[in-house]
Amino acid sequence: MADTATRFFNREVSWLEFNLRVLEEAASPDHPPLERAKFLSIVHSNLDEFFMIRVSGLQEQVEAGFSEPSRDGMTPAEQLEEIRERVVAMRHQAWQVYSGQLQPLLAEHDIHLLGYEQLDDRSRARVQRYFDTVVYPVLTPLAVDPAHPFPHISNLSISLAVVVRTPKGEERFARVKIPQVLPRLVPADQPSSSGGRRRNRPAYVFVWLEELVAANLTKLFCGLDVVASYPFRIVRDADFEIREDEAGDLLQTIERGLMRRRFGSVSQLEICSTMPEEIEGILVQNLEIDRRDVYRSEGVLGLSCLMDLMAIDRPDLKDRPLRPRTPRRLQGDLFAAIRERDVLMHHPFDSFVPVVEFLQAAANDPDVLAIKQTIYRVGSQSPVVAALKDASDKGKQVTVMVELKARFDEENNIEWARVLEASGAHVVYGDVSLKVHCKLLMVVRKEGDGIRRYVHLGTGNYNAKTALLYTDLGLFTCDPVIADDVTALFNVLTGYSAPRSYAKLMVSPKGIRAGLMERVKREIAHAHAGRRARMVFKMNSLTDFQCAEQLYAASQAGVDIDLIVRGSCCLVPGVPGLSESIRVRSIVGRFLEHDRVYYFWNDGAEEVWLGSADLMPRNLDRRVETLFPVEDSGHLRWLADVYLPAYLSDTAKARVLRPDGTYERCGTDVEKRISAQEWFIDNAGDDGNVSLG
């Protein structure tokens, strides 16, 4: 039996292992060049969020003197030390991928990412004109001396630490912020070395904005000698708590929190490798950080902007286009189709358009009386919000539960809340202490002498853009019992109705943990009785120690368990006497795996539950979440016999978690590798699911 220190993996270390798997995709020749740039961008944006949320939280614990180890055996200080060691190595590896692989590869395909000194005279003249007319008017040099206090440095911004010399020979320090309102990658003319257009394709040439600014600092410091400049970048604590006594008006509280986020403590200072220790010391002192929170980078800072390259019109350097399918039965009367039979959607392989059309049809249907929906992340320019506004404008009773605390999407949600309120919709902001993360949509329609309620439940957000990038499952149904449950849950969310038991849904807090663990215990009972016992769970993260302990107990009873966990996993698989019948795999591919699926063999009376909840303490105890059963026999068979086996058969993008915490690729034979995502692209059937044949 494993001891305490090896019984669980540390959540933060496990997450860093996940980000390494993303980095592996950036380095993989399986992807087209621009897709590799996208993955490298995601690696860096993931690290930014990791420091904004997870690292900043650990730093606060250390500052508060908290030194108790967690269930994985690591104290906050030990976690920070381990994180630093791993992040330094990861940044080095990421830079090697960029400079040694990606940059030369893009150049072979006429996409050049150059330093200012690499531009020829013609290109330099062009970017100089851009600097003079666009960049220069935006810049503001800020002196730092007794009369000029050290300026505020905003989160995720890049700045230049500038050393200038006065005519008297005195050296001074100044800061120049690189404008975040302008593109980091500045288009430039093609350098003569690239040989002109090749194969009738235009060349794309870019120079980094901070290099363009650095080359023109004499225009900002007239009469002074510019001795040197060094780029640096900071990441701030971007999490904020909402105390109940501060939240009389949740909307205003969130807005104040967004302002505080700009001024949060610095969790990371990233500097260029050439910055002298003296300049580093000035930054460390004025930003009030520990030198252990300083990270030296070998090259360009903040490579998350590489995502901008995806706007280049070079389809030959991207994945083959995805053409989501709309099932034939959803191309007519949506209400009639749902009345006939539940509809299971598998995004992005099935189009998200029917969900939007469902709302639009409800807005235009004179028999529709009311629409109720939860909103977590709908993005900007949302067709979902537009349809809800249209419905309200047309006199429907529209009630929208807007989760203002959706991290990094708060500003969008505040904007949508005000738009909907202005249209006359009932907008509710939810509980101060509980995020509303469940995905619910209900349309109340008059039919004959009564009403019928049409419900959509999903694993993902009502976001038309991410529905093309994330894998998710959604269910349309007019089952009256599920409709009763959804109605009751909305009453809890919008009014004073007390939480109740639900006939078919599992609802957190409390309900999902209890419901899932009850079914795990049922599989254990089957195993003890000598019957076959099996479970397959698919989720984003597994970090709840209680759930992990219950899965260990199931393994020790002989239950066969497969876990498909995209990100962090605290459970240790394959340990004799503890977890030897548990296998854990992670799939990182073209689409972000986002659906949560819980399958139980149940002595042949199989059950499949879908929903919004991962096996994490926050999802089970501190959020409003739902899991819903799949009761249509055809859908259940597809999930059990096609969907889950496809992911368990993946040998192209799957990695298997080893007992030592590392991940190992499943397939070594390139010709025989199977990608579940690519298989779904090729095999979606007309009923909206992959053909069972």
Residues assigned a catalytic role? 437
φ, ψ at 552 (rounded to 5°): -60, -45
φ, ψ at 623 (rounded to 5°): -140, 155
Cβ–Cβ under 8 Å, residues 343 and 330: yes
The DSSP element (H or E) to which 437 belongs, if any, is none
* Dist. CA 194–CA 108, nearest whole Å: 9
Query: Which residues neighbour 200 within 8 Å (Cβ) at sequence distance 6 or greater?
Result: none
Helix (H) and strand (E) counts in the chain: 21, 27
φ, ψ at 516 (rounded to 5°): -70, -45
Residue type, 282: I
Cis upstream peptide for 321 (omega within 30°)? no
Query: Which residues neighbour 198 within 8 Å (Cβ) at sequence distance 6 or greater?
Result: 110
The DSSP element (H or E) to which 188 belongs, if any, is strand 185-188
Cβ–Cβ under 8 Å, residues 217 and 162: yes
Site of tokens 């548990």: 582
Query: Residue 481 corresponds to which tokens in the numbers above?
Result: 């019992």
3-state helix, strand, coil in the chain (%, to 5): 40, 25, 35
Nearest in space to 459 (alpha carbons), one of 643, 293, 263, 606: 643
**Sheet with 266-272, side-by-side order of all strands:** 141-144, 171-177, 158-165, 225-236, 266-272, 294-297
* Dist. CA 207–CA 12, nearest whole Å: 35
* Dist. CA 344–CA 347, nearest whole Å: 10
* Dist. CA 599–CA 523, nearest whole Å: 11
Cβ–Cβ under 8 Å, residues 8 and 72: yes
Helix (H, G, I), strand (E, B) or coil at 492: helix
Cβ–Cβ under 8 Å, residues 26 and 39: yes
* Dist. CA 384–CA 357, nearest whole Å: 9
Query: Which residues neighbour 589 within 8 Å (Cβ) at sequence distance 6 or greater?
Result: 25, 652, 653, 675, 676, 677
| CB atoms near residue 576 (< 10 Å) | 9
Helical axes 76-96 vs 11-27, angle rounded to 10°: 0
Residue type, 80: L
